[in-house]
Amino acid sequence: MTAGLVTVRPAGGPGEIAAALELRRAVFVEEQGVEIAEDLDGRDDEALHLVAVDDDQTVIGTCRLLADGQRIKLGRMAVAPGARRRGIAAALLGAADAHAVALGGRRIVLAAQTYATGLYERAGYAPRGDVFLDAGIEHRWMEKRVA
Ligand X SMILES: CC(C)(COP(=O)(O)OP(=O)(O)OC[C@H]1O[C@@H](n2cnc3c(N)ncnc32)[C@H](O)[C@@H]1OP(=O)(O)O)[C@@H](O)C(=O)NCCC(=O)NCCS
Footprint of ligand X (CB under 6 A): 27, 77-79, 84-90, 112-113, 115-116, 118-119
Closest CA to 9 of 56, 60, 53, 75: 53
Q: Which is nearer to ligand X, 17 or 74 (CB)?
A: 74
Q: Which is nearer to ligand X, 81 or 104 (CB)?
A: 81
Closest distance of CB 86 from ligand X, Å: 5
Closest distance of CB 92 from ligand X, Å: 8
For residue 140, which phi and psi values (nearest 5 degrees)? Answer: -145, 135
Which DSSP category does 48 fall into? Answer: E
Bridge partners of 134, per DSSP, are 137
Q: Give the integer Cα–Cα distance in Å for 87 and 105.
A: 24
Closest distance of CB 129 from ligand X, Å: 15
